[in-house]
A and B are shown apart, each in its own frame.
Chain A
Amino acid sequence: MHNTFLPEQYPAVEYFTDASSVVDESVVHGIYEGEMVIDAYPPTYPGISVSDFLHRTTVYEELPAPLAPRLRQGAFAGMALTLVGSLFLALLPTIQPLGASAPLLLLHGFFNAYLYWIASTPLLNYINGVLLSSSVVLLIVTRNLRRGRLPLHRLACVEAIGGSANLVLLLIPLSIICINFALWVLIFMVIVLIFALIVAALSVVL
């Protein structure tokens, strides 16, 4: 290097910066106190090029966003319903004989056929298994359904819909049982009423 203003007795101090630089020359020289130095080499500026910057960015629209309150609520409910539905399916082999011998006045045949169809359809177990495992993943990734990318919001919605399907699955036998229970209660009330009338009539006669 030839430089008229740089005294030759001073050794040139070189250093290399860790940060990537857009200036090709990475050699700079030390400046000594009280000495005016005009260097032939360009100074280096730590910094990154726009090109490097661009390759280290993410798409804003794909960043995690908080789940809408109603979506969170629905997903939680859906997960709970899926869990209940899965328990129901798991306990079904135990429940089915009880259902067959249950004193149902209405839809007894349909009730048994329905329980038999559920028990003999492994697809429902698979679907519920997938829903439950995905809900565990969803809870972990979104940190208890707080923030997540858009696909995770969609998955939360699927969880809610899966839960509602489980609700329908449960509601059919439950409503048959409820209707029959109401009928039995009605019959019991009628019997009690008849009994009360008879007792009242007997008390009047006697």
Chain B
Amino acid sequence: MVAPLYKDEKQARRVVNVVQEELHRSLSRPVRLVNGRISIAPEILAGTLSTWAMQNIRLNRQTRALVEYPCRSQGLVVETLGEYPLFTEMRLVQGPITDVVIVPAEQDPLFASGQFPLPRSVKTRMQLMEQIGVPLERMFTYIAHEVPANSVAMDRPLPLEAVTPPPSAHTLRQSERLGAIAHVSTISALKGFRRGLTTSVRGMVVGALATGVAAALLLDPIIFGALADERGMATWVVLAQWVW
């Protein structure tokens, strides 16, 4: 027969209460503010980091399942970058030749102008993503622009001129062809008028050259989708990338 540890039930209850109170004390003060510094118990910190990492892994798996695999099944290649926090301000990364600006979509001046241009192929691709069930409505939009070095200041809003794309090469080619037809049908027949008209057109040529120079400087925009959880962490995915 096993002898009882305590002689009476009352004594047992008292010891249990003491232990419970101690346990509760450690639970109620896992994180303390001591002299303006946050003090976190090691076991709590380890548990938090572990939970954090687990949540990142879960987020990554979720993104791959919801975004990457459906896209891959349709032959759409998307790149999952990893887990990074969301942000609300413009980020500027300065490089030797070009700078890269990353902004939430609503802060992009092109988007604010109401006419954010997407090449037809890119728009079709993203509409296809929507059709196959990629949860685009749950993903935050960020846009990266490669801009000429030192053309953007960190403390100022992103200027529209820095990110405005050049005119469509297809439209310009068509315009040139139509111009050849128009020129043959009128100006060639009216050579006498040419001298007067050439002067007015000269300004247009200068404008076209300036546009061409700008086109050479503007590089590739990238559209990111960020699938976030309640922590503000998100799995970042490159949804589209192109060169103007």
Nearest to A145 among chain B residues (CB) is B204
Q: Which of A47, A64, A160 lies in contact with B88, CB distance below 8 A?
A: A47
Query: A59-B118, A73-B197 in contact; A46/B88 too (CB < 8 A)?
Result: yes
Expressed in whole angstroms, the minimum distance between the Cβ of A144 and any Cβ of chain B is 10
Complexed CA–CA distance, A48 and B138 (Å): 9
Q: Is the CB of B181 within 8 A of A157?
A: yes
B138: contacting residue among A22, A35, A81, CB under 8 A: A22
B123 touches A57 (CB 8 A): yes
Q: How far is the CB of A170 from chain B (nearest CB, A)?
A: 11
Question: Which chain A residues lie closer than 8 Å to B201 at the CB level?
Answer: 69, 72-73
A70/B239 in contact, CB under 8 A: no
Tell me whether A63 is interfacial, beta carbon within 8 Å.
yes
- A161: chain B residues at CB < 8 Å are 181-182, 185
| Binding-face segment, A86-94, A113-121, A127-135, A148-156 | A148-156
By the criterion CB–CB under 8 Å, are B182 and A156 in contact? yes
Residues of B within 8 A of A53 (CB): 105, 111, 116, 141, 223
From A45, A63, A163, give the contact of B186 (CB < 8 A).
A163
Check if A70 sits within 8 Å of B105, measured CB to CB: no
Which residues of B are found within 8 Å of A72, using beta-carbon distances? Answer: 179, 201, 204
Tell me which residues across on chain A come within 8 A of B204, comparing CB atoms: 66-67, 69, 72, 146
The reply on B207 being an interface residue by CB < 8 A is: yes
Task: Of the listed stretches B50-58, B68-76, B225-233, name the one at the interface; the rest are far from the partner chain.
Answer: B225-233
Q: 1/0 contact trace for A64-80 toward B, CB 8 Å?
A: 11111111111111101
Expressed in whole angstroms, the Cα–Cα distance for A67 and B36 within the complex equals 65
Contact A58 B117 (CB under 8 A): yes
> What are the 7 A-B residue pairs with the smallest beta carbon separation, nearest first?
A74-B182, A42-B230, A71-B179, A160-B182, A70-B179, A65-B167, A68-B179
